[in-house]
Structure 1
């Protein structure tokens, strides 16, 4: 077993080792967890099956909620550091002209969002974790948990090449399929919503844009003469000559399992102006898809020494499909619980109580909001209700400001305005997801 870190903090997958905590996956969930743990003085190893830089299916757009989480990680989100800033949402739906809604001026959140390609974003965040002392192991494809014969607790993991990495606590941040969580008996819940997102890039004159663009009316074909799908489309300018264009569809639609989403993306874009450039001849790369596991669809988030963070724990916001912000927030909560458990002595009753505090904190923070989200996706899955919303709700700007705060989960916890108080009250009243 090798315990020492190389000078650059990046090791090969040929060797095993030991640590205070093993983090499986070095996406936003895993790298954020590693940063917070390393800052708390723990020896952390991140095992990433791919090699950086690597591509991920994502809209590449981040709301102020994610901006705040990055700031808490110590990441410089300035434009000078390669980030594109945006000042709000441009929302299409219910009328021909879109609404441009600036991000709300709040105490709890910054007034700007961000854009950065995931291939660069994930690489940057993993190196950020290394800069705080975490060890990154690339090409380490975790296949199985190592369990203690007597207690059944996880005490390490095995990789595809046979290497063993051992630690008293393990974090599963290995995405939607989360092979590690499944091996520990933590399976998905069928009573939670699931989405599918597809996206690609186009060279486009709309590459420079101060707003993230959201299309809340997603027609299967010609607008107002075809089926209205329960989902949304997006167009995010990347500032490099291209735009990230995609759509997300929820499983509350009867057509969810039988829809060709790549064809749906093409049909939707055929309704956009020709001069925007969203046609096959301007496509850069392939149309790629990914699942969106929502509303804590895999639980419990802690058990037998394993904590789940990010998509592994189904932490995507059912209102808007955002996952990165919530993965980073959960990472901090997980690190708090792990650091407290370590201070009490891993294996003691006190340490176990500290670890059980992680799912409790998650539910307190997001449980009510996610419960509202599950109700929301069921409602818009009914074409009649969806039609009423788009006809009578979307055209009203004041209502859309409320909807933006609700969908993006941007409110002040204290001393907010009337909209904030209503949303916060609804979240508190709803039973935790």
Structure 2
């Protein structure tokens, strides 16, 4: 056993939620450890769009200029590609902030996550990467986190990190031994996530369409360096049937990603047109199942940020926004902690209330939209409504939180 290392906070997960929380705490003078299981840069299943309402937060975190230099074009239109129908409407702009930040843009997770983790490291956070947290145990008034190198064996030498504050930012899709990780039970109705990058697509640079197709939904957006991101969810049972029928037709094994790509192209004309001349840039990625819903933000002495705190259906493209903002909210509340278990519990209650106040509407809106898209005849109903009232798309984007500013930026104690 390696010698224990003591910190003020241990953050498990170096994605947008964990890195933003760690960076904000480190810039407050906290001694922070980040445990990240993967080597960066790496791609992730994610829509990659960030609303303009987040850009003041990125500035405060110190990566705003780098984000602007790397991200794709402004997304000024939202659309619907459903069957043979393509409909467009204006994207609502941000209500506040610099005029140059009126609209959101997309940036690949391989770039965004590296920017955030590097900034946290520069702010003084100690990064353990690639390492996996394998246990969290009570340690007097604090917690002890046992970590091991990713890919190591069960008997490999472990390192113990100690801190009064532990932040779970490991996402909700992967089960594991930690008390903050969610159990995984396979259901026929599970939504599995897929994502790929393409180059040379014909999708208009300022348009982000929602895709609906039998058994699932998705989205497309032009991100950085000419890459177009396609992300989608599909029901497990629908995917199984698609793979079986396509394998029978072709006389051989068909991968899940191949079946998903074929299904989208066959059932959604707008996507087919955008991808007709496009080239796949890297492999399709898969993850999930997604677990939409609101969970405890503080439980068993562990704070939660990002997807593990609560998850919206990705149909509204707000995953990164919720991750960044939840990390910020938690850092704000922890910055007010007087000390001791009672102080942490009070911070946990305040954080949960702030989380629900900021995110519950978009979680519920996403669930309603997803139910419509996935239900019998729902896609046709959605198509009919949007065809007659295209501004429904604009309203939906507003309800999803794309114009809702991040609270606390004006009065925060974080250094600018």
What TM-score comes out, normalization by structure 2 length?
0.78
User: In structure 2, how many angstroms separate the alpha carbons of the residues matched to 1:48 and 1:321?
Assistant: 24
Q: Paired residues, what number?
A: 380
> What residue number does 2:238 align with?
255
- Is 1:210 matched with 2:181? no
- Is 1:49 matched with 2:49? no
Cα RMSD of the aligned pairs, angstroms, is 3.5
Which aligned segments of 4 or more residues in structure 1 are displaced greater than 6 angstroms? Answer: none
Q: CA deviation at 1:239?
A: 5.0
In structure 2, do the counterparts of structure 1 residues 92 and 369 end up closer, same or farther at CA, with 3 Å as the change threshold? closer
> What residue number does 1:286 align with?
283
Q: 1:101 aligns with which of 90, 115, 118?
A: 90
Does the CA-based 8 Å contact 2:135-2:146 persist in structure 1?
yes
Instruction: Give the match's secondary structure for 1:86.
Output: coil
> What residue number does 1:329 align with?
325
- Is 1:92 matched with 2:86? no
Instruction: Give the match's secondary structure for 1:98.
Output: strand
In structure 2, do the counterparts of structure 1 residues 25 and 80 end up closer, same or farther at CA, with 3 Å as the change threshold? closer
Instruction: Give the match's secondary structure for 2:316.
Output: coil
Q: 1:312 aligns with which of 308, 314, 317?
A: 308
> What residue number does 2:248 align with?
none
In structure 2, do the counterparts of structure 1 residues 90 and 371 end up closer, same or farther at CA, with 3 Å as the change threshold? closer
> What residue number does 2:413 align with?
none
Q: CA deviation at 1:256?
A: 6.7
Does the CA-based 8 Å contact 2:87-2:390 persist in structure 1?
no
User: In structure 1, how many angstroms separate the alpha carbons of the residues matched to 2:238 and 2:119?
Assistant: 42
In structure 2, do the counterparts of structure 1 residues 407 and 245 end up closer, same or farther at CA, with 3 Å as the change threshold? same
Q: CA deviation at 1:318?
A: 5.2
Could you say which structure has the greater relative contact order, defined with CA pairs below 8 angstroms and 6 or more residues apart?
Answer: 2
> What residue number does 2:55 align with?
67
Q: 2:351 aligns with which of 344, 349, 358?
A: 358
Q: 2:339 aligns with which of 326, 341, 345?
A: 345
User: In structure 2, how many angstroms separate the alpha carbons of the residues matched to 1:173 and 1:276?
Assistant: 35
- Is 1:157 matched with 2:157? no
5+ residue gaps, structure 2, are 150-156, 244-255, 408-416
Q: CA deviation at 1:189?
A: 10
Does the CA-based 8 Å contact 1:172-1:312 persist in structure 2?
yes
Q: How does 1:14-413 map to 2 (within 5 A)?
A: 16-77=4-65, 81-93=69-81, 96-107=85-96, 110-148=101-139, 154-160=143-149, 161-177=157-173, 183-184=178-179, 187=182, 195-206=191-202, 209-218=204-213, 228-232=214-218, 234-249=219-234, 255=238, 260=243, 262=257, 263-270=259-266, 271=269, 276-278=274-276, 282-291=279-288, 293-297=290-294, 299-317=295-313, 319-341=315-337, 344-347=338-341, 349-411=342-404
Q: CA deviation at 1:376?
A: 3.6
Does the CA-based 8 Å contact 1:319-1:407 persist in structure 2?
no
Instruction: Give the match's secondary structure for 2:287.
Output: strand
Instruction: Give the match's secondary structure for 1:107.
Output: coil
Does the CA-based 8 Å contact 1:318-1:370 persist in structure 2?
no
User: In structure 1, how many angstroms separate the alpha carbons of the residues matched to 2:31 and 2:272?
Assistant: 54
Q: CA deviation at 1:275?
A: 7.3
What TM-score comes out, normalization by structure 1 length?
0.76
Q: CA deviation at 1:116?
A: 1.9
In structure 2, do the counterparts of structure 1 residues 147 and 238 end up closer, same or farther at CA, with 3 Å as the change threshold? same
Q: CA deviation at 1:326?
A: 0.4
In structure 2, do the counterparts of structure 1 residues 43 and 357 end up closer, same or farther at CA, with 3 Å as the change threshold? same
Q: CA deviation at 1:31?
A: 0.6
Does the CA-based 8 Å contact 2:221-2:229 persist in structure 1?
yes
Instruction: Give the match's secondary structure for 2:131.
Output: coil
Instruction: Give the match's secondary structure for 2:79.
Output: strand
Instruction: Identify which range, 307-316 or 242-251, moves more after superposition.
Output: 242-251
User: In structure 2, how many angstroms separate the alpha carbons of the residues matched to 1:205 and 1:187?
Assistant: 37
